[in-house]
Structure 1
Amino acid sequence: MKKLLCIIVVMISMSALAQRGDKRERIKALKVAFITEQLDLTTEESQVFWPIYNTFEKETNTIRFKEIKDIRKEIRDNLDTMTDTDASTLIKRLNKAENRMHELRLGLSDKLKNVIPAKKIIRLKIAEDDFRRKILNEFKRRKRERP
């Protein structure tokens, strides 16, 4: 019954999001549904899990799509003219951003230990990897089908 309710909520959310046409929001809704199903979260676990996970996602996305994207753009734009000093600075900035993402991942595990069983934390990592793989395969499939 719980899974059916979750699926109904996600379907309604997806149809509303589809009308907006916002691909990132649709993918996020699919990810939430996928993770919820894979982890088999209870109602109580969900109420505590999702705020923690959403904060983690927001912080890592900021690093990934703002900081790292800006660093990579700077590298692409200036690769031919940059000095070794400039390159070293960019490497340090990139490493710092990637380290912060790693620290966030470790912090997520620590926070979730008090919310869900350790086995579900492992399932979360597997579910994230599986979801990423499914999304990439879907993009590849759609690209092949385009004329």
Structure 2
Amino acid sequence: MKIKDILPIFLFLTSFPFYAQNEKTNQKFEKIKAYKISFLTADLELTPAEAEKFWPLYNTYEDRRYELRHEKMKTYAQKLNDDTINSISEKQAGALLSQMESTNRKLYLLKKNYLSSLRRVLPAKKIVKIKKSEKDFNRKLLQQYRNKAGKK
């Protein structure tokens, strides 16, 4: 057998564990997401009608927020490491600053539109409680992780 015949098989076999691991990670994220939905629905005391309108708004907001924050981190992390920050020109720093302001503006407008949309489907008290419920969920999830890690 020639190397060009073996190479595709080798690549498939070596990439399979990464695919399986990625699939396992996706399953964990989906499990956490389902747990979060359950937790927030109960904690916010959402009625079925409220939940039906709330979750599409929340998921869209969270997805877009994640995209913007990921884009922001990717852009800034590359340009703001120790070697680069000391060697960039004033013009490059100004452009980076403008980019940061633009991303922050997009995040602000996203949040503003999200809150405006929420006002149409939830009472103000429940909207205010969302942030606290998210923090409680994250704290509970972290505690479960710590307990699980401590048992190993």
TM-score for both structures, normalised by structure 1: 0.71
Matched, 1:89 2:95: yes
Render the CA deviation track for 1:35-79: whole Å, top value 9, x for unaligned. 111111111111111111111111101101123332222222622
Q: Could you tell which deviates more after superposition, 113-122 or 87-96?
A: 87-96
Q: Percent identity?
A: 32
1:67 aligns to what? 72
Q: Gaps (5+ residues) in structure 2?
A: 1-22
Matched, 1:31 2:36: yes
Shift of 1:93: 1.0
Aligned-partner Cα distance in 1 for 2:43–2:111: 19
Q: Report the RMSD for the aligned CA atoms in angstroms.
A: 2.7
Which of residues 80, 88, 92 in structure 1 aligns to 2:86?
Answer: 80
Aligned-partner Cα distance in 2 for 1:92–1:48: 36
Matched, 1:21 2:25: yes
Q: Which has the larger radius of gyration?
A: 2
Aligned-partner Cα distance in 1 for 2:148–2:79: 29
8 Å contact kept, 1:112–1:121: yes
Q: Gaps (5+ residues) in structure 1?
A: 1-18
1:12 aligns to what? none
The structure-2 alpha-carbon separation of the partners of 1:125 and 1:142, relative to structure 1 and needing over 3 Å to count, comes to same
How many residues align structurally?
128
The structure-2 alpha-carbon separation of the partners of 1:125 and 1:74, relative to structure 1 and needing over 3 Å to count, comes to same
Q: Could you tell which deviates more after superposition, 42-51 or 63-72?
A: 63-72
Shift of 1:82: 1.4
TM-score for both structures, normalised by structure 2: 0.69
2:58 aligns to what? 53
